[in-house]
Amino acid sequence: MPWVVVSAPTRPGSWFEGRAFLAATLLVAILTGILWESRHVFLIINIALLYLLPVLIVALRWGIWPAIYAAGLAVLVFDSLFVPPVFRYTVADFRYLIVFTVFLAVAALTASLAGTLRRQMHEALRREALTSSLYELSRQMAAVRDLETLLDEVARHVSRTFATPVPVMIALPDAHDQLRIAVRTPVIDSGYRVNANVLEWVYRHGEQAGFGENKNTELLYIPLKTENKVHGVMCIGEYGVGTVFNSEQLRIVEALAGVAAVSIARMHYEEEAKLSHLMAESERLRTALLDSISHELRTPLATIIGSVTGLLEGMDILSLADQRELLATIREGSMRMNRLITNLLGMVRLESGMLRLHRQSNDMADMIGVALRQVQDALSRRRVTVNIPDDLPPLDVDDVLIDQVLTNLLSNAVKYSPDGSEINIEVEFSADTMTLAIQDFGIGIQPMEADKLFDKFYRSPTVQHIPGTGLGLAICKGIIRAHGGTIKARRGTPRGTVMTIELPLETRLMKEKES
Amino acid sequence: MNKARILIVDDEVQIRKLLTVTLKAHGYTTEEAGTGHEGLTMAEQLRPDLIILDLSLPDIKGTAVLNQIRGWSNVPVVILTVHDDETDKVFALDHGADDYITKPFSMGELMARVRVALRHVALSPEDPILTVGHLKIDLIHRIVERKGESVKLTPIEYALLRVLALSRGRVMTHRQLLRQVWGEQSYESESHYLRIYVGHLRKKIEEDPTRPQLIITEPGVGYRLLAPDASDN
């Protein structure tokens, strides 16, 4: 298997050189023609000087060898045509060797100066191209937020860097450190096949390699390498047919690979950072969950166990009224535990994505009725007004879940408002949304915590004395979101809280009409 | 009637004990089964008047037990479920269960369900005038009166009220109502008509339609017309 480590490739030149010599000959010939016609006007020394012109031009344009050729040709023609005896070379003509030497010196000097200039210009142009290409790529990379798009951009950019689009493939290691082709540019010629062995070798060794017939690589394998890590391998199809990359192109490709590697590394770091942030967040939640559960479960449990043991042990000393009191305490404690468990389960179901909506056409008025019935005991010490338009359109929702939301909101309204205060329920609808507002006239929320209220385990500092888990509103938000709606809290006027739910009106009837 | 024999099928000893104590206190005799198979055998041998069946049993599914029982008997079955499986509830109700009760439940609720389910078997058409709250329904003359004033109902509203009244106190699933009011060929997708008509009906017979006291919605399951005797427990 001939592996070729790609080196600076040969530069195509023979046709170029041939043209230079032809041009030198032509220039000398044209000048000779002009000078021959006007030979009586000039002194011989002027003619000799004028023959410097083609040498200069050739040296500037084509470099040293064509210039030397031009110098020699010029001296020979000059000697033969303008130095008497005409058309003949004599021994005396050896003095014109001085002229020839001067010509040669001028040719060499000019050619070298011009060559340096040309090289510098080339270098500058190349650098400019490289810089702009790199700049363009890194600018694109900076805007990209996910790995897939990033690889896609890199591949497309590298592919487009050359006059002819080249096929580009990028292979990245998967979770088991096995290389997988992550992206490939759509190039019509699909004759390129990635050699898995070469790919693996390049990835393990972090060195580039070309693979194919001798001096005719099919694909160039370039490691995407940052300081200490190879992130993947980029495979590039050869540029043109039958030729490999020249050193400039190779350098561009390498530089692009460098940018790509840094971008991939950045993406990895970002992902890691995100992950560790998530872990910290889940750690915080777990702690909050434990605190909340241990407190919220233990308190009612303590009252239940206390009351029950009190009853069992003190049957004969407790009055009937006391027994009733203790039993009521047990009932209250169990209800509270039941609510907590329902909420916890609801939260788990929302978080784990196990929540499935059983959407059906539902009547908002009916759902409100159900919720009011659920909390009717608590509501008996509130003045409740319900305002629902007669022509309410049906809602495509999961009534069990929406009922849970309404019950939660109504319980909150009761919990955070004084006995005898009002609770208003108001429903409105427009062409595409239904809005439900529940207003109480209790403690009210602080304006800056309007959003925080819906965070898991968030409990307002102003209500720490009222028991609660900080789960109810988070569940409400999860359910409403799952329905494509929004839930908001704001401070009511003059006091209290207004909870507003907006649900999209996408009724079955409308859908039927459309179809 | 209070001599009725009730079979309790539940794998939780605590629940069985609780039910046994309460039911006995109300004058019923009880039998207990801890598994589905045991329940089936006992149901066949003892021919109980009512079965309280837990849906989550260790050996076979509660719905399978229900299916087998329904293969040979019309004995009333009240289903015990946990809070979050409306689909199971509806399935059981559509496949012959008489009613359901969700854990955790209050004893008052349970006794009401048991009473309704037992009476349902004994319910006969010789009782053609029903009184539910302030509502009087005359099934022979098709007259509905609210606080002594006659209520004008459309044929569908009347049919709906009649079906609910014949099973008063019992939950009726959406499918059961659709079938019995609109006919066998009705589809689940038409359930929004059901909701619309329930809404209309409530506006005519309820004191406050936004807080219905007669036709109760069971979210995700169906509707229930208040049992005449539900108020006394």
10-residue stretch averages of pLDDT, chain A, 515 residues long:
36 62 88 85 82 85 84 84 75 73 82 84 82 81 79 81 76 83 68 77 84 61 85 76 68 83 85 84 75 79 90 87 91 86 82 80 90 88 91 88 92 92 94 93 88 85 80 90 92 91 74 48
Class of domain A360-514: alpha beta
Q: For A390-453, where are the alpha helices, taking DSSP H only?
A: 399-415
Spatial neighbors of A271 by CB under 8 A, at least 6 apart, are A147
| Inter-residue contact B163 to B181 (CB < 8 Å) | yes
The Cα A94–Cα A99 span in angstroms is 10
Kindly list the residues from chain B whose CB atom is less than 8 angstroms away from the CB atom of residue A400.
86, 219-220
- Of A462, A463, A429, A446, nearest to A497 by C-alpha is A446
| Residues A243 and A164 sit within 8 Å (Cβ to Cβ) | no
Treating both helix axes as pointing N-terminal to C-terminal, what angle do B13-25 and B107-122 enclose, rounded to 10 degrees? Answer: 60
Could you give the 3-state DSSP secondary structure of residue A243? coil
Other Cβ atoms less than 10 A from the Cβ of A231: the count is 20
Reference A385, options A445, A435, A442, A437; nearest CA is A437
**d(C-alpha B169, C-alpha A325), whole Å:** 31
Interface test with A, best of B210, B214, B223, B226 (most A CBs within 10 A): B210
List b or e across A108-126, with b for residues whose CB sees 16 or more CB atoms inside 10 angstroms: bebbeebeeeeeeeeeeee
Residues present in chain B in total: 233
Q: pLDDT of B136-195, one tens digit each?
A: 888 888 889 988 889 999 999 999 999 998 888 889 998 899 888 888 776 666 777 888
pLDDT the model gives residue B67: 92
Q: Do A361 and B191 touch (CB under 8 A)?
A: yes
B13, pLDDT greater than 80? yes
Instruction: Count chain A–chain B contacts defined by CB atoms under 8 A.
Output: 58
Q: What residue in B sits closest to A331 (Cα-Cα)?
A: B106
**CA closest to B203 among chain A residues:** A390
Of B83, B191, B195, the CB nearest to A366: B195
Say what the pLDDT of residue B68 is: 92
Residue B80 has pLDDT above 80, yes or no: yes
Q: Which residues of B touch A334 (CB under 8 A)?
A: 104
Show me where the domains of chain A are located: 14-127, 279-351, 360-514
Query: A465: helix, coil or strand?
Result: coil
Domains of chain B: 5-122 (3.40.50.2300), 129-232 (1.10.10.10)
CB contact under 8 A, B192 and A358: no
User: Quick one: which H or E segment has residue A299?
Assistant: helix A247-314
- Tell me the ipTM for this assembly: 0.80
Q: Is A342 on the interface with B (CB under 8 A)?
A: yes
Q: What is the pairing mode between strands B77-81 and B99-102? A: parallel
Q: Is A486 on the interface with B (CB under 8 A)?
A: no
pLDDT for residue A9: 38
Helix (H/G/I), strand (E/B), else coil: B135: strand
Asked whether the predicted pLDDT for residue B231 surpasses 70, the reply is: no
Tell me how far apart the alpha carbons of residues A378 and A389 are, in angstroms, rounded to a whole number. 26
Cβ pair A373:B216 closer than 8 A: yes
Cβ–Cβ below 8 Å for A394 and B195: yes
Q: Is the pLDDT of residue B222 over 50?
A: yes
Report the CATH fold assignment for A279-351: Helix Hairpins (1.10.287)
CB contact under 8 A, B209 and A365: yes
